[in-house]
Structure 1
Amino acid sequence: MSRSARDIIDLYQRHAAAWVRNRGDRLTEGVWLDRFLAVAPKGRRVLDLGCGSGSPIARHLIDHGCAVTGIDGSAELIAVCEAAFPAHTWRVGDMRLIDLDQRFDGVLAWDSLFHLDHDDQRRMFDVFSRHCAPRAALMFTSGPAHGETIGAFEDEPLYHASLAPAEYRSLLAEHGFKVVRFKPEDPDCGERSVWLARRL
């Protein structure tokens, strides 16, 4: 499990073209992104952690007036973002290690937080807190229960992990967030478990 977790960035770097091809432009997350924007202050400065190629999620945010800063560990995927959305900010980096000295109106970790092991996920709440402005929106996806699992991407192991919902609630409260909505295994969003919170 731990080796698969460590290899996540390298896996997406080596198979960036396949990820772009498989992800496509189909937006199943639109309802949740609109909820996120409804919670976020009107400044609409959004930090997208694990932004991938920028499509379709960052594209949706940009189309709705957001100034997006995207972080991804894959230089290949960041290059796709830069080519598609040159007016926005894109950086190669490990979401666990960033400290941008900026606060955002919204922070998003969609289909990225759950690639980290349990301890790294716990530490990410400090990262969220440092980068959220007062009343900022925070949204991330998780699993429905505590555990680890190995999927597959391009015939290689793909690590996923989740904390228990009670622990996510505790971490959010500890770091000054209030849960706005939690939907485990949302059937309208690819069975993702989605958390939407607001910074107090």
Structure 2
Amino acid sequence: MKVTITVRSARFQVESGRQEWDELRVISSLADLRRAQALNHGLSFPTIAGFGPNSALPHYESNNVTNRVLDTSSLFMLDSGGQYLDGTTDVTRTMHYGTPTNLEREIYTNLLMGCINLASTKFPEGQTLNTLEVLIRAPLYSMGLDYGHGSTHGVGTFLGVHEEPGYYRANEFGMRLENVVTVIRADVSTTTDNNVTYLAFDPVTLVPYELETYQRLHVER
């Protein structure tokens, strides 16, 4: 919810033609909103708020020298999380407050399709996440694209966070998407072989994607 408030506030200001939001203001505003929550005990990692070329740096940290003002010319990537007494959060969204290029639309669409592939799959108990990796990357592979880090990581109370699905074009733009999910027992249509238990993912993150920016997604593929 706090991420949604921050993203929507920035969108309103930028689309109104006001240059009042920059990377550092997003970071500060989001930290203030989290700090106001009763169970919050700080950030789970330094917030990554990268606009334009800065979004192409997977572990970018904005400062007074690199800070960029948000406008309608490029992508903005926001990766943030908080430490809470009842768990650790980590969520990433990528948005464009203007008109993305056709290439940016296509990459984003395939990146999102990879996330949907993983989120909707069912798998036997004992399967490792490494064996499911191709589900995430396959849509990007169809474009001849890939990213040079892992796609998934564990999250728990006051634990660290790492990488997630993304794509980065040096000195131009980057995009990344991330949700927290829990593993649950899956409903399957037939009796499983050897009484194997099948599992599925249940979403925890409720931050909407910025779909209006990317028009219609070709998820029917």
**TM-score normalized by structure 2?**
0.29
Higher helix share: 1
**TM-score normalized by structure 1?**
0.31
| Pair member with larger Rg | 2
